[in-house]
Structure 1
């Protein structure tokens, strides 16, 4: 079994829900990441991705609007760090997502298993 913890990116960037969409996009560009975890009072509530940015602007949201208006706040899908990569890929495929937050045994988000990590995992399985 190949676990997602072996392929995930870490650390995971987090922003509070009252952060502007423009600021979140700037941070994502600076750090070269395609997603950030959105928190409220430090608790993970959603994920904001590059796809969410496109959706937000196409809906006419203002760059100064809070990220909570454009994030997928009600649907944070996660996996445990020991989840097999093929299970994670299946979850991503079924939910049509490209970023999957990874939790440790205490439930803390410790990494992000993204579509770009899949090729690394498959290369190890099928050299």
Structure 2
């Protein structure tokens, strides 16, 4: 299975915040959408980075009280790890493990944002794939038997 198949099912909508948004605003956005990360984009829509719950917790630990008023640009991860729509789910899981990230923006060959996948999306896809394989094997054994 490829990442593009996951995006067909979940859609390409990506929640974004601005670099000047406060950490409180970002936290509220994440809570409202029940997500663990959001892309940070400028007014023209260019991707500047990603901000996750992990970034917020690390920033709070580093900056202490008053953190909620600081800006997303101060906490975001600037070096994005991305995948393409044709990337295999197993490859994307490997990238997540190696780079220790839980969210991957999906960019096409032109660099256009196509969506965002989470570790949960990929694990769900692998489970569905394994269940389908098991059913196919069961049907094969039943037919052969």
TM exceeds 0.5?
A: yes
For normalisation by structure 1, the TM-score amounts to 0.90
Query: Match for 2:49 among 46, 50, 62?
Result: 46
Q: State how far apart, in whole Å, the 2-side matches of 1:13 and 1:106 are.
A: 21
Aligned to 1:5: 4
The answer for unaligned runs of 5 or more in structure 2 is 132-145
Q: State how far apart, in whole Å, the 1-side matches of 2:56 and 2:63 are.
A: 11
Q: Which is richer in helix?
A: 2
Q: Deviations over 1:80-108 (max 9, x none)?
A: 11111011111111100011111234322
Aligned to 1:56: 59
What secondary structure sits across from 1:97 in the alignment?
coil
Q: Deviations over 1:44-97 (max 9, x none)?
A: 011001111111111125211110111112x11111111110111111111000
CA contact (8 A) 1:5 1:111 kept: no
Q: Which is richer in strand?
A: 1
1:67 aligns with 2:75: no
Work out the number of aligned pairs and report it.
125
For normalisation by structure 2, the TM-score amounts to 0.79
Select the structure of larger CA radius of gyration: 2
Structure ranking higher on relative contact order (CA contacts 8 Å, 6+ apart): 1
